[in-house]
Amino acid sequence: MGEWGEAIRDVRASVAMMNRNGDQFRAQAVEMFDAWVRLHAMDFEAVSATCQSALRLFKDPVRSAYSRFCLMLKGQAETGLGNYERALEYLSVARDALDSKTVINTWFLRMHLESAITDFWLSKGDLARARPQAEHSLQIAQAAPDRTWQALAWGANSKVSMAEGDLKHARVCIAEALSRMVGYEVPLAAWRVYATAAEIYERMRDNRSAKHYRKLSCETILKLADSLPAEEAALRKTFLSAPPISAILASVPSSKVRNGKPILVSKERYS
């Protein structure tokens, strides 16, 4: 839902309770959800460090859902850091574990993993592998009612088509992604889908539509950043300064960050 500050506070309260009970395993398991928030906020260094520590405790990916989740987060963090060899190693171990044995929430872990692998191949620029992977990820997402993952899957297929130069199919896919978000609050997917839509329409020389979707992406990003409390100023800064985020903010003249706090300035205010 994009309430990152609330999520972090809930995690901290849970970890404190587990530590009071002397339950180190569950305390470390709950820390994975803090890492998940930070992954979306693009603090890849922090995610990688948390997962590295947790993997020493979660030793059996075949039997442990926590271990699989941790491996996926670690793989995504390494992708974000550009450590592709390491990223593929962690994502592959997670996939092998999912293929070998069904555990609790396997359906959800599968959606997460296939999306992560799609992003990996896109980040590497390997379209030959990204195309079938994106299509496979879409099939997985379509089998579940989760609108966030459906929108992300359609958005990934749109990115692949755009990278291949097929703007017509990219537009079809992004229209599907946008339709999956109608009537739902899916900010984790929304800013990405809107950004992809803006790029597609810009390439198609539809500047009005491109401007519209850039603005929507920017507004969603600022709401996500604004959900972080003052004590998470460093995380807010990391998120807003991440290359894909800062590029979107820079493309919308009315977006600004003042004293570390994101705002959206009305043009009429300065007219």
- Looking at residue 268, its pLDDT comes to 33
**Assigned CATH for 148-271:** 1.25.40
- Looking at residue 146, its pLDDT comes to 93
Query: Distance between CA 110 and CA 146 in Å, rounded?
Result: 13
CB 90 within 8 A of CB 74: yes
Domain boundaries, the chain: 1-144, 148-271
Confidence of residue 57 (pLDDT cuts 50, 70, 90): confident
Helices (H), the chain: 4-20, 24-40, 44-55, 65-80, 84-100, 106-124, 127-142, 147-163, 167-181, 187-203, 207-226, 233-241, 243-251
Question: b/e for 230-262, b at 16 or more Cβ within 10 A?
Answer: eebeebbebbbebeebeebbebbeebebeeeeb
DSSP 74-92: HHHHHHHTT-HHHHHHHHH
Phi, psi of 256 (to 5 degrees): -145, 160
- 1-144 belongs to which CATH class? mainly alpha
Domains 1-144 and 148-271 share a fold: yes
Query: Distance between CA 261 and CA 258 in Å, rounded?
Result: 5
Residue 262 structure tokens: 């994101």
> Does the pLDDT value for residue 267 go beyond 70?
no
Residue 120 structure tokens: 């990996």
* Cβ neighbours around 26 below 10 Å, total: 15
pLDDT digits (tens, 9 = 90+) for 137-154: 999 999 999 999 999 999
Q: Is the dihedral of CA 111, 127, 152, 11 positive or negative?
A: positive
Instruction: Find the angle CA(164)-CA(147)-CA(239) to the nearest 5 degrees.
Output: 70
- Looking at residue 107, its pLDDT comes to 87
- Looking at residue 60, its pLDDT comes to 67
CB 210 within 8 A of CB 194: no
pTM of the model: 0.89
pLDDT digits (tens, 9 = 90+) for 10-37: 999 999 999 898 888 888 888 889 999 9
CB 104 within 8 A of CB 65: yes
